């Protein structure tokens, strides 16, 4: 990562995608080796047209999604999908994974924080399986 981080000019999209994928690999390995839970990517790159549909369906709240640039992925625990085949995000179940993602650096944003109430200990964010890179 040092090669890309030492450069003074603004990184290209491909360079940012490369950094995102390095962090993404760390996230998958953390889930597998530390949390002892397997995760699966359920959404990654979207076209602008696909994003428009997501917004219309209220599955997304923005047309400025990092998915369009390939800088965000949505994950689910495999166990969450095995019980009834439906995605039932419990934000608190994703807390350790989200906090690990955030620990990778200030450009790492976890969707589980979106909409948090700072007055409670609960993670109340509405997109717990979303991990994006803002670098």
**How confident is the model over 20-48, as a mean pLDDT?**
96
Tokens of 24: 């993404």
Give CA–CA dist 68/45, Å, rounded: 6
Give CA–CA dist 105/108, Å, rounded: 6
The pLDDT confidence band at residue 4, using thresholds 50, 70 and 90, is low
pLDDT, position 127: 84
The pLDDT confidence band at residue 56, using thresholds 50, 70 and 90, is very high
What is the tens place of the pLDDT at every residue in 28-40? 999 999 999 999 9
Q: In this structure, what are the phi and psi dihedrals at residue 50, rounded to the nearest 5 degrees?
A: -65, -40
Would you say residue 114 has pLDDT above 90? no
pLDDT, position 20: 97
Question: 10-14, 25-29, 42-46, 84-88: which has the minimum mean pLDDT?
Answer: 84-88
Question: 2-11, 12-21, 102-111: which has the minimum mean pLDDT?
Answer: 2-11
DSSP 3-state of 14: helix
Percent of the chain with pLDDT over 90: 58
Contact 124, 117 (CB under 8 A): yes
Higher pLDDT, 79 or 83: 79
């Amino acid at each position: 990562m040092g090669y890309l981080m030492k450069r003074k000019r603004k990184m290209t999209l491909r360079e940012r995608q490369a950094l995102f994928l390095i962090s993404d690999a760390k996230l998958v390995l953390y889930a597998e080796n530390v949390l002892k839970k397997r995760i699966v990517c359920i959404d990654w790159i979207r076209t602008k047209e696909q994003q428009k549909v997501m917004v219309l369906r209220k599955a997304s709240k923005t047309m400025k999604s990092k998915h369009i640039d390939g800088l965000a992925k949505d994950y689910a625990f495999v166990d969450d999908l095995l019980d009834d085949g439906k995605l039932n995000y419990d934000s608190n179940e994703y807390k350790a994974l989200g906090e690990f993602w955030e620990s990778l650096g200030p450009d790492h944003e976890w969707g589980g924080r979106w909409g948090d109430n700072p007055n409670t200990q609960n993670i109340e964010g509405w997109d717990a399986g979303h991990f994006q890179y803002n670098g």
